[in-house]
A and B are shown apart, each in its own frame.
Chain A
Amino acid sequence: MDTLVHDLGIGFAHVFVAWNLLMLTIGLLIGMAVSIMPGLGLVMGIVLTLPFTYSMDIESAIILLTAIYIAGTYGGCFTAILYKIPGEPSDVPLLWDGYRMNLKGEAAKALGWALVAALIGGLVSSGVMVSLAGPFAKFALTFDSPDYFAIIVLGLATVVCLATSSLAHAFISLFFGLIIATIGIDSTYGAERFTFGQPLLSGGINYITVLVGAYGLGEVFTRFGRTLKIDATDEKSNRVRTRFPTWREIWALRQTISRSTVIGTVLGVVPGAGAVITSFVSYGIERQYCKRRKDLGSGIPEGIVAPQIASTASVAGHMVPLLALGIPGSGATAVILGAFLLHGVQPGPQIFVTHPDTAYAILASLFVGVVGMCVIGFFWIRLVVKVLTIPQPIIIAIVVLFCIVGAYAERNNIADVGMILVFGVVGYLFDRYGFPIAPMVLGTILGPLAESSFLRSMIRYENDWTIFFRRPMSCTMLVLAIIAFAFPLVSRISQRRYPTVAAPTA
C-alpha cells in the first residue's frame, strides 16, 4: 500500500508539471467539444488528436488522449439535458430523465446531478482500478500464451455479443477485421499473406488506418448532405447554471450510486463494453431495482445518476487492462495503445517495471482529469456549447482534413491517405447495411495478438490444442467466451417465448 501511495505520488508530481497539466486541460476541452457534437464522438476526438502527439513525449501524449477520453463521457450531458441532443450514444439515457427534468424547470439541478455522478463515478472507479493495477499486473506476469489467447477470444466474444445489430452481421464484421489483420508478412513464419504483390500491403494495414477510416471518414460520408437540426439558441437553456444537489439528496441515492459505480467499473474491464454499454446497462438495472423505478423516464435524478456514473466509471475500467495487459477493450483505448506503440513503449505487465513513472502518471491523470473535467463543466461549458452553432457541413469538412492530413503526417505517404479513404467507404457501407463497426476494428487490433498467442501456444505445447482447456485461467476465459457467444442466442429465444412488456414511457 505504501508503495502504491509513493508511486502514485510520483505520478501526481508528473501530472502537475506545467506542460502535462496544459495537455490535460487541452484534452479535457477537446473531449468536451467533440462529445457535445453529434457525429464526432470521443473516439474520433482521440483519433484526430493522435497526429499532434507524434512530437510529444509519451507521458504528455497519453495524458492528452486520456483526458479526451474522460471528458468525452461527460460533456454530452449538457446538450442532452438542455437541448435534447445526445452528443455521444452513451448520453441517450440522459435524455429520458435529464431532458424531462429540464422541461419541469429543473435543468440546473439535472446538470448538478450529472456533475456529481461523473465526479463520484470517475473518482471511485479510478481509486478502485488504480489500487488493483499493480496486483493485476503482477498476476498478469504469470500468464502464458494460452491465457492471453483465451483472454483475447473472450474480448472478441464480448464485442460480438454486445453488438446491437444481428449476430451474423457482428460475426462478419469481426471476421473482416481479423482478415485485414492478416494482410502483410506474417510475424511468425515470415510468409506473405494477401499482399497480391503490392509493396503497400507487404507492411500490413495499420489498425489506426482502419480506425481513422471507418470511424472518421465513414461517419463523415454517412452524414454528408444531411442537415442536423440543432437548436442551441434557446436563451433560457443557455443561461442555466449548474446547481448541486444537497448531501441529504445524494445520500438518498446511495443505492443507485453504489450499483452504477460497480456496474461501470466492472463492465469497463470487459473488452468491448464501453461507455455506451455501461450507460445503457446501468439505466436498465435501475429500471429493475430502483425504488422509484416506475417514475424512471419522467425526470428523476436516478435516471441521470445511473448512466452518467457508469459511463465515466468505465474509463478507468478500460485504462487499467490496457496498461496491465496491453489489451485494448475499446476504440478509444485502441488509439491510446497506438500512441504508446508510436512512442516505442509496449503496455503490459512489464510497464510497471520498465516505465513505472509513466504508468503511474497516467493513472494519476485519471483523478486529475475527472476533477478538472467537473471544474470545466461547472464554469466553462457554456463556451464549449457554442461549437454547436457551427454548421455541420463545415465541421465534417474539418474532420476530413484532420483525418487526411493526420494519415499523411505519419509517413508522408499519399498511399496511407488512399488506404483510409478505402476504409472510410467500408465504414460507410457497414453503416448503410447495418454491420457494426466495433467488431471489425477490435478484430483488426486484437487479431495479431490472438494469432501470435495461438501460434506460440501451439509451438510451445507441440500442437496440443487441449492446453487451452487444461490451464485454469485459459479454460475459465474460454468458458466465459462460450457463454458470451451463447448469450444473444439464448436471450433471443427467451424473448421469442416470453416477450417482454414495454416499460412505461414518459
Chain B
Amino acid sequence: MRGSGPYLVVLAVGAGLFYVSLGIASAGDSRLGAGLWPKTILVLAIITCVFEIARRTLFGSRYRSSEPSKDPSLLPQGDAVEPQSPANRFVPWIGIGLTTAYVVAFPLLGYFVATLLYVVAFVYFGNYRRPLRALAVGVTASVAFMLLFMRAVYVSLPIGVEPFAHVSTFLMRIMGIR
C-alpha cells in the first residue's frame, strides 16, 4: 500500500464526481448526452487508481524496484543540475498561506498596501533575511506594478476600503493615474 495515498484520494474524489455526474441532465433520446464524456473519463481514472493501488498492494516490493526513474546514464556524475539548499517540506505552505492572505486582502487593503505587505513578507520568509532591503523591494515593486498596470495597461486595480482607499487614491494622484 506504500505510496498509494494520492491514488486513494483520487479514487475517492473520482467516485464522488461519478456520483455527481449521474445527475447531469441527459438528452433523453437516442443522443449520447452531456454526461457521457465526463463519466467515461471518471471511469478510466477510477480504473487507473484501482489498478495502481492493487499493483502496489500485491507487488509492493517488486513494484518499487521497477519504479521508473530518470535514466541515470544521462546524468554525468558531478553535474548537479540545480544546486539548492534543502527545504523544509512545510516551508512552501508558508508561501501558500501568505499568497492566500494576499488574495483575501487584495480587495480590502487595496492593491498598494496589500502588495507592499505581501512582497515584504514573501521575500523575508522566502529566505531573504534583510528586512530593510525587503521593504525597499516591496515599495519599489508595488509602485512599479501600479504604474505599469494602471497607467500602461489600463487595469483598474482595487483601491480597497476606508482608510486604505485614501492611501491608494493619494498615490494614484501623485502618479497621475485617474
Q: How many A-B residue pairs have CB under 8 A?
A: 207
Which one of A227, A228, A433 has the highest number of Cβ atoms from chain B below 10 Å of its Cβ? Answer: A227
Mark contacts of B82-116 with chain A using CB atoms, 8 A cut-off: 1 yes-contact digit, 0 otherwise. 11111111011011100110110011000000010
Which of A365-409 touch B at CB < 8 Å? Answer: 391-394, 396-398, 400-401, 404-405, 408-409
- Given A194-B20, A492-B66, are A172 and B48 also a contact pair (CB < 8 Å)? yes
Whether the pair A458, B32 counts as a contact (CB closer than 8 A) is: yes
Min CB gap A325→B, angstroms: 21
CB of B33 within 8 Å of the partner chain: yes
What is the chain B residue whose CB lies nearest that of A503? B73
Q: For residue B33, which residues in chain A have a CB less than 8 angstroms away from its CB?
A: 189, 191
Q: Which among A164, A167, A222, A505 is the interface contact of B92 at CB below 8 angstroms?
A: A222
Mark contacts of A71-110 with chain B using CB atoms, 8 A cut-off: 1 yes-contact digit, 0 otherwise. 0000000000000111000001001100100000000000
Mark contacts of B55-86 with chain A using CB atoms, 8 A cut-off: 1 yes-contact digit, 0 otherwise. 00000000000111010111111011111111
- Given A225-B125, A226-B84, are A217 and B99 also a contact pair (CB < 8 Å)? yes
CA distance A333 to B156 in the complex (A): 29
Whether the pair A186, B103 counts as a contact (CB closer than 8 A) is: no
CA distance A1 to B154 in the complex (A): 44
Q: How would you classify the secondary structure of chain A's contact residues: helix, strand, loop or mixed?
A: helix
Whether the pair A99, B79 counts as a contact (CB closer than 8 A) is: yes
Which of A18-70 touch B at CB < 8 Å? Answer: 38, 51-52, 54-55
- Given A189-B34, A428-B92, are A409 and B155 also a contact pair (CB < 8 Å)? yes
Which of A219-276 touch B at CB < 8 Å? Answer: 220-222, 224-229
What is the chain B residue whose CB lies nearest that of A412? B156
- Given A166-B68, A172-B48, A502-B72, are A225 and B38 also a contact pair (CB < 8 Å)? no
CA distance A455 to B79 in the complex (A): 50
CB of A506 within 8 Å of the partner chain: yes
User: What is the size category of the interface that chain A forms with chain B?
Assistant: 35 or more
- Given A221-B95, A405-B155, are A172 and B7 also a contact pair (CB < 8 Å)? yes
Interface size on B, residues (CB 8 A): 77
What is the chain B residue whose CB lies nearest that of A297? B76
CA distance A176 to B48 in the complex (A): 12
- Given A172-B7, A191-B35, are A397 and B24 also a contact pair (CB < 8 Å)? no
Q: For residue B70, which residues in chain A have a CB less than 8 angstroms away from its CB?
A: 164
Min CB gap B8→A, angstroms: 12
CB of A165 within 8 Å of the partner chain: yes
CA distance A297 to B86 in the complex (A): 28
CA distance A474 to B95 in the complex (A): 46
Whether the pair A227, B127 counts as a contact (CB closer than 8 A) is: yes
CB of B41 within 8 Å of the partner chain: yes
Whether the pair B6, A428 counts as a contact (CB closer than 8 A) is: no
Q: Which among A51, A179, A228, A496 is the interface contact of B82 at CB below 8 angstroms?
A: A228
Q: For residue B118, which residues in chain A have a CB less than 8 angstroms away from its CB?
A: 397, 400
What is the chain A residue whose CB lies nearest that of B55? A168
| Other A-B pairs beyond A225-B94, A229-B84, A405-B157, 10, CB < 8 Å | A171-B48, A179-B17, A224-B125, A225-B91, A225-B127, A397-B126, A412-B156, A421-B100, A428-B96, A502-B73
Between A and B, 18 residue pairs with Cβ closer than 8 Å are A92-B81, A168-B48, A178-B41, A179-B17, A179-B38, A191-B33, A224-B92, A225-B126, A226-B86, A226-B87, A228-B83, A393-B122, A401-B115, A414-B103, A421-B100, A433-B6, A505-B73, A505-B75
